[in-house]
Structure 1
Amino acid sequence: MGMFDDSLDKAVANKTTRPAPKSAPAQMRYLVKQLKGTRPVAELLGVSQRTVERYVKDQIKRPRPELAARLAEEVRRRWQPRVRERARKQAATSTGIVIETRARFGFTAAPGSTDDARIRLVTHHLPPAYAARLFDAQTHGATDQELRAIAAEGLQEEYFKDRGRRAAGLSVEFTDIDYVEFDI
C-alpha cells in the first residue's frame, strides 16, 4: 500500500459509526468471526493457530508490537464494510472529497510566467467526479502513481485552473509529496 491508498482508506474509516475493538483479544475474536475460523486468522497474521486460540480465550492479552500493528490494521480494514461503502458512494456521487497535501508543485505554462517548482500546502475540495475516479482506481488495484496522477489532475483543474476560469494552458506536476490526507 502507498501513501494515497492508505490515506483514502483512513478517510473512509473515519466515517464508521462505532469504534472498532481496542483490546487484542477483542480484535482477534472479531477477525475469527469475520474470517470464520482461527486458521485463516493465523495465516493472515503470520502466527500459529494456537496463538490465535489463546487470544480468543483471553489467555494472552498483550501482543508484541509488530503483531499488534498488523492486528489493528486488519481489523480497521474490515470494520463496518457497509458503512464504509456507503461513505465511498456518497463521496463519489454527491459530496466529493477534500485533499490536503504538502508537496512540490511545478508548472508548464505560457512563456513569461513562473514555472519554478516550490513546496505548497494545499487544502481543496475535489468534486464527486474525482472522488469516484480515485475510489474506482483504488478498487481496481491502481498503483500509488496512478492515484497521484488522478489527484494531480483534480488539483490542476479545480485549484490551479479554477475550473477553467484561468490559466488555460497550465499543466501541473505533483512531486516530492511530504504528506497527503483525504477527508470525506
Structure 2
Amino acid sequence: MRAKAKKKAAFTDGLVVSTRARFGFTAAPGTTDDARIRDITQALPPEYADQLFTAREQGATELQLRQIAADGLARMYFRANNSRAHGLGVEFTDVEHIEIEL
C-alpha cells in the first residue's frame, strides 16, 4: 500500500508540505527581504515527491531532504510555479516542524 501511494505521488499527484520555518529572500542584486517565521502548507508537483523519495532511499541527510522541500516551496509558493519573482532565492532555516503528506 505504501509503495503504491509513493508511486502515485511521484508520478501523478505530488505531495503536500506543511511547515513552520524561517524564510528569507534574495532577489535582484542588492535586494533582500529579512527572514521571518511563516506557516506554509503547499502542494508540490510530482517531481518533488520523486526527488524526495529517491534522495531518502539513497541515504540523503535531513539537510539535503529539507533543501529539496525548500526548492519546491520556492517554486510553487513564492514564485507561483515560476510565473513571477524570477530569480528569487529562498532561504529555509530554523525549521520548527515539517510534515509531508501523500
Band of TM-score, shorter chain: over 0.9
Q: Which residue of 1 aligns with 2:46?
A: 128
Q: Which has the higher strand share?
A: 2
| C-alpha distance in 2 between matches for 1:164 and 1:176 | 25
Look up the equivalent residue of 1:96 and give its one-letter code. Answer: G
The runs of 5 or more residues in structure 1 that have no matched partner are 1-82
Matched, 1:169 2:94: no
The runs of 5 or more residues in structure 2 that have no matched partner are none
| C-alpha distance in 2 between matches for 1:137 and 1:130 | 10
Q: Which residue of 1 aligns with 2:73?
A: 155
State the SS of the aligned residue for 2:34: coil
TM superposition shift of 1:110: 2.2
Look up the equivalent residue of 2:82 and give its one-letter code. Answer: G
Matched, 1:98 2:16: yes
TM superposition shift of 1:114: 4.8
- Alignment TM-score, normalising by the size of structure 1: 0.53
Number of residue pairs matched by the alignment: 102
Alignment of 1:1-184 (within 5 A): 83-110=1-28, 114-184=32-102
Q: Where in structure 1 do 4 or more consecutive aligned residues deviate above 4 Å?
A: 111-114
TM superposition shift of 1:164: 1.4
Residue-by-residue CA offset, 1:80-110 (whole Å, 9 max, x unaligned): xxx1111110100011000000000011112
Answer with 112-121 or 131-140: which moved more. 112-121
Identical counterparts, % of pairs: 56
State the SS of the aligned residue for 1:125: strand
Look up the equivalent residue of 1:155 and give its one-letter code. Answer: L
| C-alpha distance in 2 between matches for 1:148 and 1:136 | 13
Q: Which has the higher helix share?
A: 1
